[in-house]
């Protein structure tokens, strides 16, 4: 392979653009002509994130999820929260959720589910190749073992049938989820969790349209069949992880801007590399 020309090396030194015939040694030589690279630094913020780089790939990055529900849900006002990650409807990744990360070029992370957030608890995707899930999505089908408490007009089921609850905060598509609400004072069309002293987790729902568990479960089954299932999102006692293929995110020497091209923006992004704040 012929040696790169001086003009190619000077171009790389000033812009970070590398010609096809340049070796790693040539790139390092170009960087030295500009005084070397930046020290390893971490920058955190809400995208777009702008920074200066020495032209080497990012060392690490992580993306903190988001989830937004606007309004108060009820059986007559179903509100599905917006989640972080966009559903892919065709191609090799159909049925997965895409997180496109752009820094010059676009690199896409694909996950089996969206990433979610409830209050300070948020799922996270990291350059280690792991997505950590703090939030669990529970879809009710009508097959659950709900019991009707006649004296308080509420339905109760142990959530130990699913995954353990860490906090009593939650989000629901059909009912207003309230935290730290006593089950006895639950208002109509509200949902809450109770973590008992014995360690059992209970989920309570009050819906005064029904006065027995069979009718309530039939309603849940009908909603599930209609494609609008009653869904509850809550914080897991023990987070789970999902592995994904990690893209290498390159930079150019000089000014860079990193964006996350999802419909709902993440809560925050952290990037680590030989970079500095713009």
49-104 confidence digits (pLDDT tens): 999 999 999 999 999 999 999 999 999 999 999 999 999 999 999 999 999 999 99
**159 pLDDT tier (thresholds 50, 70, 90):** low
User: Encoding tokens for residue 198?
Assistant: 């014995």
pLDDT band of residue 240 (cuts 50, 70, 90) is very high
DSSP state of 115: B
Q: How many residues does the chain have?
A: 278
d(CA 269, CA 141): 36
Q: 162-204 pLDDT, tens per residue?
A: 556 666 789 999 999 998 777 788 999 999 988 766 667 789 9
Q: Which residue has the higher pLDDT, 183 or 26?
A: 183
- Mean of pLDDT values over 225-241: 93
Phi first, then psi: give them for residue 228, nearest 5 degrees. -125, 60
- Which residue has tokens 């409807």? 89
Q: How far apart are CA 221 and CA 235, in angstroms?
A: 24
Q: Is the pLDDT of residue 24 over 70?
A: no
Give the span between the Cα atoms of 34 and 31, in whole angstroms. Answer: 5
Is pLDDT at 161 greater than 70 in this prediction? no
How big is the chain by its Cα radius of gyration, in Å? 25
pLDDT digits (tens, 9 = 90+) for 197-232: 666 778 999 999 999 999 999 999 999 999 999 999
Q: With pLDDT > 70 as the criterion, what percentage of the chain qualifies?
A: 85
Nearest to 95 by CA among 107, 108, 110: 110
| The two three-digit tokens of residue 16, written as one number | 């970070």
Average model confidence (pLDDT) for the chain? 89
User: Domains of the chain: which residue ranges?
Assistant: 1-36, 138-240
Stretch (H or E) spanning 6: helix 6-15
* pLDDT score of 199: 66
At residue 195, the pLDDT reads 73
Q: What's the confidence (pLDDT) of residue 278?
A: 86
C-alpha span between 204 and 194 (Å, rounded): 8
pTM: 0.82
35, pLDDT greater than 50: no
Characterize the bridge pairing of strands 190-195 and 176-177: parallel
Read off the pLDDT of residues 40-54 as tens digits, 9 standing for 90 and up: 999 999 999 999 999
Nearest CA-CA partner of 163 in 235, 68, 254, 259: 235
Among residues 278, 277, 270, 250, the alpha carbon closest in space to that of 102 is found at 250
Q: Where do the DSSP E strands lie in 185-251?
A: 190-195, 201-206, 231-243
The answer for residues whose C-beta is within 8 angstroms of residue 186's C-beta and 6 or more apart is 152, 154, 178, 192, 204, 206
């Amino acid at each position: 392979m012929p040696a790169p020309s001086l003009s190619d090396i000077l171009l790389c030194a000033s812009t970070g653009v590398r010609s096809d015939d340049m070796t790693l040694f040539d790139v390092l030589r170009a960087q030295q002509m500009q005084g070397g690279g930046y020290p390893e630094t971490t920058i955190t913020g809400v995208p777009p994130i702008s920074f200066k780089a020495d032209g080497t790939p990012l060392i690490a990055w992580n993306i903190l999820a988001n989830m937004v529900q606007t309004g108060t849900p009820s059986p007559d006002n179903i509100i599905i929260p917006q989640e972080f990650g966009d559903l892919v409807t065709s191609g090799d990744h159909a049925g997965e959720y895409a997180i496109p990360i752009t820094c010059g070029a676009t690199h896409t992370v694909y996950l089996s589910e969206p990433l979610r957030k409830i209050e300070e608890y948020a799922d996270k995707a990291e350059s280690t190749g792991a997505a950590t899930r703090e939030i669990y999505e529970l879809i009710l089908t009508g097959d659950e073992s709900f019991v009707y408490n006649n004296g308080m007009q509420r339905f109760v089921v142990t959530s130990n049938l699913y995954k353990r609850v860490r906090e009593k905060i939650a989000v629901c598509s059909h009912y207003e989820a309230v935290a730290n609400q006593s089950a006895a004072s639950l208002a109509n069309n509200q949902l809450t969790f109770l973590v008992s002293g014995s360690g059992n987790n209970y989920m309570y729902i009050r819906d005064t349209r029904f006065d027995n568990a069979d009718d309530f479960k039939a309603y849940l089954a009908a909603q599930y069949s209609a494609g609008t299932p009653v869904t509850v999102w809550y914080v897991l006692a023990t987070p789970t992880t999902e592995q994904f293929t990690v893209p290498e995110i390159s930079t150019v020497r000089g000014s860079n801007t990193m964006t996350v091209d999802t419909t709902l923006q993440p809560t925050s992004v952290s990037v680590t590399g030989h970079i500095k704040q713009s």
